[in-house]
């Protein structure tokens, strides 16, 4: 495996469409057109091609062991990962363990709570399961649920991650199919960061409905770091209102295979304290609390 990693790093291997698509075919095509300085160069390249083919075989064999013998699902497909985080990165799975889990525990500690205290947990806007997979390992006693508007991602999760959680499609507007006061804890990473204001309020009301009394909700927002970069017109709206919903010059939602309303929203702390307190007690706000990127807000249903 060390050899495989070195090969990938050294030649910048990028696997297209599937982790196991043929790299050898592309190298063979390259060999037909590449002019080598010597026969030895070509022989070395052919040797490298054969080694990469061997590595592909090894990866396929290991994937069979992981899936058939260890019963561990492989990561989500590339395009679903990009839809969630904007890139295809080797740390996608790791980030659930090293980023989301500690972030949630850190803000819950504000009210002397931790994830292991909750029996029922909902990942609101679960994408393709980045957080769910980590929580299934780190809080195994909790019953996990995931929901998202991305029908393709939810279907993939049902087919591949059903051992980790129960998954449901979120309608564009409430209500969900969840019962009243069903969850001890709900978290939504970068969900309200993309909704218009009226839709935001509808979903805050729905989250209140399905959260248990004295239960907690964690949501993230685009805070000051982001809205200070807006143009003068948007900055004026932010200063007056504390909320701004930006519709890009192109259909951003459609560009990543999500609905048209999926744009970019910005929230000031004063706005959150004023408007969100209608639905929840505002326990704490951690500025840039997740990856130095978004603000993290801890809410409690009282």
State which of 69, 87, 110 marks the end of a domain: 69
In this structure, are strands 294-300 and 281-290 parallel, antiparallel, or unpaired?
antiparallel
Q: Are residues 106 and 177 in the same domain?
A: yes
Q: Output the pLDDT for position 1.
A: 42
Q: Determine the pLDDT at residue 12.
A: 41
Indicate the angle between helix axes 130-138 and 78-85, nearest 10 degrees: 90
Average pLDDT over residues 224-239: 95
> Token digits for 58?
């090894």
Domain check: are 59 and 124 in the same one? no
Note whether 128 and 32 are same-domain residues: no
Same domain, 86 and 45: no
Residue 18 lies in a domain: yes
Three-class secondary structure of residue 138 per DSSP: helix
pLDDT of residue 2 exceeding 70, the answer is no
Give the structural domain span for 25: 2-69
Q: Is 149 exposed, middle or buried (0-12, 13-18, 19+ CB in 10 A)?
A: middle
Q: Identify whether residues 35 and 94 lie together within a single domain.
A: no
**Residue 182 domain-assigned (yes or no):** yes
Q: Tokens 């970069």 identify what position? A: 229
Task: Give the integer Cα–Cα distance in Å for 250 and 97.
Answer: 34
Q: Does some domain include residue 74?
A: no
Q: Are residues 114 and 12 in the same domain?
A: no
Q: How many domains does the chain fold into? A: 2
pLDDT at 29: 52
**Residue-wise pLDDT tens digits, 166-204:** 999 999 999 999 999 999 999 999 999 999 999 999 999
**37 and 95 within one domain:** no
Q: What is the pLDDT of residue 189?
A: 97
Of 14, 45, 69, which closes a domain?
Answer: 69
CA distance 183 to 140: 16
């Amino acid at each position: 495996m060390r050899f495989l990693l070195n090969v990938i790093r050294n030649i910048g291997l990028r696997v297209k469409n599937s982790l196991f698509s043929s790299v050898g075919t592309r190298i063979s095509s390259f060999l037909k057109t590449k002019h080598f300085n010597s026969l030895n160069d070509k022989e070395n390249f052919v040797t490298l091609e054969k080694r990469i083919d061997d590595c592909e075989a090894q990866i396929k064999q290991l994937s069979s062991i992981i899936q058939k013998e260890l019963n561990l699902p492989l990561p989500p497909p590339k395009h679903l990962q990009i839809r969630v985080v904007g890139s295809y990165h080797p740390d996608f799975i790791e980030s659930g363990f090293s980023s989301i889990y500690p972030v949630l525990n850190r803000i819950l500690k504000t009210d002397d709570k931790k994830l292991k205290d909750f029996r029922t947990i909902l990942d609101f806007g679960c994408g393709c399961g980045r957080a769910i997979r980590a929580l299934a390992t780190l809080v195994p006693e909790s019953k996990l649920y995931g929901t998202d508007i991305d029908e393709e991602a939810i279907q993939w999760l049902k087919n591949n991650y059903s051992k980790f959680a129960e998954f449901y499609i979120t309608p564009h507007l409430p209500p969900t199919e969840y019962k009243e006061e069903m969850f001890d804890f709900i978290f939504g990473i970068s969900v309200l960061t993309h909704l218009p204001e009226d839709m935001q309020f509808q979903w805050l009301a729905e989250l209140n409905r399905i959260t248990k009394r004295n239960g907690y909700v964690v949501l993230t927002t685009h805070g000051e770091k982001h809205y200070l970069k807006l143009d003068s017109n948007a900055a004026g709206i932010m200063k007056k209102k504390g909320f701004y919903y930006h519709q890009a010059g192109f259909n951003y939602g459609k560009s990543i295979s999500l609905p048209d309303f999926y744009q970019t929203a910005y929230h000031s702390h004063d706005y959150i304290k004023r408007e969100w307190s209608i639905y929840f007690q505002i326990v704490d706000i951690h500025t840039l609390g997740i990856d130095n990127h978004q603000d993290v807000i801890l809410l409690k249903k009282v």
